[in-house]
Amino acid sequence: MVDTQLSLRSLLDDVTSFPTNPPSLFLDLEGDNLGRHGSISIISLFDAPRNTVYLVDVHCLSGEAFTITNHNVSFKTILESSTIPKVFFDVRNGSDALFNLYQVSLNGVKDIQLMELGCRPGPESSKKYVADLAKCVAKSSAISDPQKEEWQRVKQDAARLFDAQKRGFRHIFRKRPLASEIEQFCIQNVIVLPGLHDVYDAKLCRPSEKFWQVQVQQATKDRIKLSQTLQEQDGSKTLGPWSEWEIEQAVEEWNEDVMFNAMHEDEEEDWNEDLLQNIMNGDCDDCDESDDYKDSARDCIGWEEDMLENGEQFD
């Protein structure tokens, strides 16, 4: 439980040394009416390399949860970094709350819900609706059947408390200490995410799925951008981001780009040969030595700070 400045600084010290490829951080947010008109009470953060779940108590820490620093790194720094991947399941409400309540602009996000939709087999019509977390766990998670049953039991235990809240026991995520059922609920929502991510990421990384990999990346950015607008998010959240017509149009444009690139492949090869010859002759001033080590999160943050100081831009 991260509910003091000291424990938060310890968390920051831990998570800035993790590798960024594959992703190490898996997050989920809970609160009363999570979004711009509600609150954030708990951020569950699963540090996959250490197999450790941190429950960041935003209800207790308030804005300090995002602004307290350790070695010039804050939780806000990590959440806003474009080079430190953060994995969510349906980022929409969490992004809405983070941006509108604490001015945290999420970046570097992978959304497992959209990843599942992108690699779902079948015709365009099969991608009309997104799946919820329970369905993804039941269908795609590699955990055993007894573990799935236990996962479902924890959800049911928490659901009974949610029902009690509707009958008058309000602000269940604000009650301290956290009820054990709620604590387990927060934990289990993130510990299943790495396995799901690996399943869907492996499918999207196939050469034949490059189109959907790009579509999922753009749809994730669009989700975050929409959550940061002044306009309320309308419509059903069960609908996917692409209609059948939009998919057909995107596929047509994609195929045109592929054909164009194929037609100019010879020109690209000639350019690469010229560049290679310059490298061999020592005439390439812009060529850097390749790195053979994995970057840590702290390395990524340092690079971003240097770029900002130099007035450089990055996505």
Question: CA 87 to CA 103: how far, in whole Å?
Answer: 19
pLDDT at residue 122 greater than cutoff 50: yes
- Cα dihedral 194→305→221→142 (10° resolution): 0
pLDDT value of position 305: 65
Confidence at 261, pLDDT banded by 50, 70, 90: confident
List pLDDT tens digits, range 136-191. 999 999 999 999 999 999 999 998 888 766 654 568 899 999 999 999 999 999 99
Task: Assess contact for 130 and 227: CB atoms under 8 A.
Answer: no
**Where does the pLDDT of residue 289 fall: very low under 50, low under 70, confident under 90, or very high at 90 and above?**
very low
* Other C-beta atoms lying within 10 Å of the C-beta of residue 124: 14
CB within 8 A of 139, min separation 6: which ones?
A: 131
Pure H helices in the chain: 5-15, 58-61, 64-67, 75-80, 92-102, 112-119, 133-140, 145-166, 180-191, 193-204, 210-227, 244-263, 265-281, 297-309
- Please give the backbone phi and psi of residue 25, each rounded to the nearest 5 degrees, phi first: -110, 125
DSSP secondary structure code for residue 67 in this structure = H
pLDDT (tens digit, 9 = 90+) per residue, 28-55?
Answer: 999 999 999 999 999 999 999 999 999 9
Whether residue 90 contacts residue 130, with contact meaning beta carbons closer than 8 Å, is answered with yes
Q: What is the mean pLDDT of residues 233-240?
A: 78
Higher per-residue confidence, 295 vs 41: 41
- Residue 314: pLDDT band (50, 70, 90) is low
Residue 14, pLDDT score: 86
> What is the mean predicted confidence (pLDDT) over 52-59?
97
Q: Is the model more confident about 301 or about 91?
A: 91
Higher pLDDT, 161 or 90: 90
Per-residue pLDDT tens for 221-236? 999 999 999 776 556 7
Question: What's the pLDDT at 292?
Answer: 46
**Residue 312: what pLDDT?**
59
pLDDT at 280: 55
